[in-house]
Structure 1
Amino acid sequence: MKYTFLTSALIALFLTGCGTNDNNDDGKNVGMNNRSDQNNAFDNTLNVNDRNGDNDYNARQLSNDDNDNKMRVADEVANRLEDMKDVKGASVIITDNNAYVAVNLTNDKNLTNDLEKKIVDQVKKHDEGADNVYVSANPDFVKSMKGYVNDIQNGKPISGLFDEFGDMAQRMFPDAK
């Protein structure tokens, strides 16, 4: 009788211990290669603020959740370009390490190779992240760029803006990286 009770108690103890094993592995992987070290303590809860987002909000720094697609307006660079005697107006958008520049030239001048090089040099001088600079004085491109700059500055959602801008830039600069 004593052995039966002891055996039953041990079996119950072992079964209880195994019952807490979580074979679903619902925990988040927070290993050394994971950029986000938050646990899942508040996942699927109501009325809890999500603090896992990017707290360094910048209205001109646009990106998706992975921070892969970045777009920003470079007003300072555009102002420097407008200080050039041949440039009446400029719009500059930086994506990753590419700068896309739309210029209105004075007196309906054409964009010469010499002027384009001066513009490229100014952009690289005032925005060190711009490794590749693409310049156009095409009136349609200038109009589109002004629209994108306004949309970005006015906080328009970028869900389709990045793709739309990328398509337009690819049409204008097919050799762009």
Structure 2
Amino acid sequence: MFVTKGSHKVLILTVVTMSIFLSGCTAKPNTQNQQNTPIKQQQIQQQVQQPGNEDNRIQIAKEAATKITELDSVKQANVLVTKRKAYVAALLKNDQQLTRDIEDQIANKVRATDPNIQNVYVSTSPELADRFNTYVLDVQQGRPVAGFVEQFKEIVARVFPSAK
């Protein structure tokens, strides 16, 4: 499910509901991390973490995706965040090519929703968009995503080699 214009209310309601559901299923709350995360982001992010490894946390930044789709050139977007890096899979309107200007606009939208983000990596690959879409949908539907962390690392290394 990509974020599209007009689906904001349903998307926010779904994310908030899933966040409430998932917060009751965690083994150990991470209150220190929640204190450092902006309140808006806490309400609309979901995270998946392999037990015992804080470095494998991947957050779904719905607010950032929603802001990105407000851009005239962007049709759909998903944003995954690890530590201080954001990975954006966006589809552009009318078969546009990703330009430096569009990439900067997307990065600015992401940083506006979370000032802790230092690096934003953007791809308009339909394959990456499909992969991110599947991951987001699986998390929202409560499906196990344990193997996704390793897959995500491989995807990042292949699609964003400068992100290491």
Cα shift at 1:100: 0.6
Amino acid at match of 1:110: Q
Who is 2:124 aligned against? 137
- Show structure 1 runs of 4+ deviating over 6 A: none
Q: TM-score when scaled to structure 2?
A: 0.70
Aligned pair partner of 2:28 in 44, 54, 60? 54
The yes-or-no answer on 1:123 pairing with 2:110 is yes
Cα shift at 1:119: 0.6
After TM superposition, the structure 1 = structure 2 runs for residues 39-50 of structure 1, keeping only pairs within 5 Å, are none
Say which SS state the counterpart of residue 134 (structure 1) adopts.
Answer: strand
Q: Kindly tell me: are residues 56 and 176 of structure 1, through their superposed partners in 2, closer, same or farther at Cα, counting changes over 3 Å? A: closer
The yes-or-no answer on 1:176 pairing with 2:158 is no
Higher strand share: 2
Q: Deviations over 1:6-41 (max 9, x none)?
A: xxxxxxxxxxxxxxxxxxxxxxxxxxxxxxxxxxxx
Q: Which runs of 5+ in 2 are unaligned?
A: 1-26, 32-41
Say which SS state the counterpart of residue 60 (structure 1) adopts.
Answer: strand
Percent same amino acid at aligned positions? 35
Q: RCO higher in 1 or 2 (8 Å CA, sep ≥ 6)?
A: 2
Q: TM-score when scaled to structure 1?
A: 0.65
RMSD: 1.9
Give the number of the structure whose alpha-carbon radius of gyration is greater.
Answer: 1
After TM superposition, the structure 1 = structure 2 runs for residues 54-93 of structure 1, keeping only pairs within 5 Å, are 54-55=28-29, 60-66=46-52, 67-93=54-80
| Contact map agreement 2:135 2:145 (CA 8 A) in 1 | no
Q: Deviations over 1:52-106 (max 9, x none)?
A: x414699822212232211111111100000111101101111111111011111
The yes-or-no answer on 1:105 pairing with 2:79 is no
| Contact map agreement 1:73 1:152 (CA 8 A) in 2 | no
